[in-house]
Amino acid sequence: MNTRTRTIASFFSVAMAAMLLGAVVTTQMRPQPALARSADPAAAAAIPARPLGPPTLETFRDIAHGATPGVVNINTKKLVKGQRNPFRDFFGDDMLDRFFGPQGPQGQGQGRGPEMEAQRSLGSGFVVDKDGYILTNRHVIEGADQISVTLASGRTYDAKLVGKDARTDVALIKIEPKEPLTILNLGNSDQADVGEWVMAIGNPFGLWADGQVGGPSVTVGVVSYKGRGLTLGVRGTAVDMIQTDASINPGNSGGPLLNTRGEVIGINTMIITNGPQQSSGVGFAVPINVAKEILPQLRTRGRVIRGWLGVNIQSVTEALARTYHMKEAKGALISDVTEGSPAEKAGLRPDDIVVAVDGREVRDNSDLTSYIASRAPDTTVHLKVMRAGSDLGTFPEEGVARESRSESEGRSHQGMTLQNLTPELAAELQLPRSFKGVVVTQVEAGSNAEDAGLQRGDVIVSINGENVDDVHEVEKELVKAKSDGVARVRFRRGNLYTFTTLKLD
């Protein structure tokens, strides 16, 4: 008998908590809308979308001449402990002091203790405010004891760090300008499209020397891809980057990526190479909308406090969608809910699929993660959730041949050998004695179970949303799912829960 599922569309209102360095923080702050700005990062004037015409030589020339004065050279210095003077190791301190004085033969800073050396690094940034606020990458200024900024005029200013965010690799610094500044307009990165012409501006390889009159370098390319999820600074999180073939090299970090309207749509951040650390046509920029969402917090707090639901999620694959009888593979599948979290209090549970948040479609897990992270603590969000449940009758007991548990446990099920979870086995796997599930004890090479990513020691807790407490129940659910050709398996590995799809022969 073919047991189908029905889909229930539910709406949940979730009051989010805050997540800061792993701690739960409660504070009142209203979310700022992610709108396009011009000069002031705190402003919220939307730039209307309009089609981009074909670029000409004059287009690139005008953008370069208009934008380069707003791009800056960032020079940082970090003091670190260096190597002890090798002359002292050979001759001894007293002899060197007698001949060369207490500072040693290499002048100042060569005393008896460990030497302090200055590590310097170069990067780029761009002005976003007439008061001297400058956007750049966090990794450009991370750990710096001194930050200096050189403008196109050649004038150099000391800069102070205002705020930084590890998750997005964005930082905000400030100078006290004594001259008018060229301010770059911040565009709407959501409107950028693959194949669209873009311009990258920065200071590759430090060609524009600190304190000298000059300017940054300009390169041109196209948007190669949008939404390339890459981890920048916090494990387990990703930023949907803009990929471009505009030449980006060391020193370009923190500079702007502009469209043919001269608006900043990204912050040039990283490259991927297989050899030397130089451009290979695969560069990435943080979308400017990501930076705009956190700018108010960077400016007022110096750090970003993000909303937190308390769920583990994964994208809905084509195979998973088949097990839910969904017409399209989309949404964020909840694989676990943290006890006491806003999600648990709202009634969310594993097997739920979030398909929309505050009226916005959720295509995959990154859509939900990015949106929730952009919301402030103590903000209420509205989730549209699909919940699957059997409603076409119960699978008849006589449909499954009864076997003794020992016989059932010894058999291979789609290439995996299963064992009931005893209290002793639960202790060995560091699980609570009352934990329910079925243990995978062996996986055959080339089997459906191996293709599904299952491993020895995994504990299967449900199949197609039905909890399984013993091997017989696993068999029963697999038989029920056989007409679909695939089953959705939720399992625990270590302390994490996840879903996979098991092909059924």
Q: Is 279 an annotated catalytic residue?
A: no
Q: pLDDT tens for residues 34-51?
A: 222 333 333 333 323 334
The token pair that represents 483 in the structure block: 């007409």
Number of domains comprising the chain? 3
Q: Which helix (H) or strand (E) holds 225?
A: strand 217-230
Range of weakest confidence among 79-93, 295-309, 460-474, 478-492: 79-93
Task: Give residue 497's domain range.
Answer: 397-503
Same domain as 359, residue 315 = yes
HSE-up of residue 202 (Cα within 13 Å, Cβ side): 37
Within a domain: 236: no
Same domain as 170, residue 74 = yes
Residue 32 pLDDT grade (very low, low, confident, very high; cuts 50, 70, 90) = very low
Gap between the Cα atoms of 158 and 142, Å rounded? 16
- CA nearest 137: which of 284, 240, 286? 286
* pTM beyond 0.95: no
Q: Which CATH number does the domain housing residue 409 bear?
A: 2.30.42.10
Annotated catalytic residue, options 217, 247, 253, 370: 253
Same domain as 410, residue 372 = no
Residue 79 is predicted with a pLDDT of 75
Residue 370 is predicted with a pLDDT of 79
Q: With H, G, I as helix, E, B as strand and everything else as coil, classify residue 441.
A: strand
Gap between the Cα atoms of 334 and 336, Å rounded? 6
The token pair that represents 21 in the structure block: 């360095």
Gap between the Cα atoms of 24 and 320, Å rounded? 33
To the nearest 10°, report the CA torsion of 31, 37, 39, 40: -10
Provide the 8-state DSSP code for 137. Answer: E
* Residue bearing tokens 């909840």: 334
Within a domain: 9: yes
User: Angle CA(470)–CA(473)–CA(477) in degrees, nearest 5?
Assistant: 145
Gap between the Cα atoms of 249 and 247, Å rounded? 7
Higher pLDDT, 106 or 421: 421
| Sign of the CA dihedral with 194 first, then 197, 198, and 204 last | positive
Q: Is 139 an annotated catalytic residue?
A: yes
Residue 405, amino acid: R
Q: pLDDT tens for residues 318-377?
A: 999 999 988 899 999 999 888 778 888 888 999 999 999 888 899 888 888 878 877 777
User: Kind of pairing, strands 306-308 and 416-420?
Assistant: unpaired
Which of residues 357, 375, 390 is at a domain's end?
A: 390
Provide the 8-state DSSP code for 47. Answer: P
- The distance between the two most distant Cα atoms of the chain, rounded to a whole number of Å, is 100
Annotated catalytic residue, options 121, 139, 413, 447: 139
Q: Is 253 an annotated catalytic residue?
A: yes
Q: pLDDT tens for residues 99-150?
A: 444 544 444 444 455 566 667 778 999 999 999 999 999 999 988 899 999 9
Same domain as 266, residue 133 = yes
What share of the chain in percent tops pLDDT 70?
Answer: 74
Task: Judge residue 471's burial from the number of C-beta atoms within 10 Å of its C-beta, 0-12 exposed, 13-18 middle, 19 or more buried.
Answer: buried
Same domain as 69, residue 23 = no
Same domain as 455, residue 358 = no
Same domain as 146, residue 216 = yes
The token pair that represents 241 in the structure block: 């980057």
Same domain as 346, residue 485 = no
Annotated catalytic residue, options 129, 165, 169, 470: 169
Same domain as 340, residue 271 = no
To the nearest 10°, report the CA torsion of 102, 104, 107, 111: -60
Higher pLDDT, 118 or 271: 271
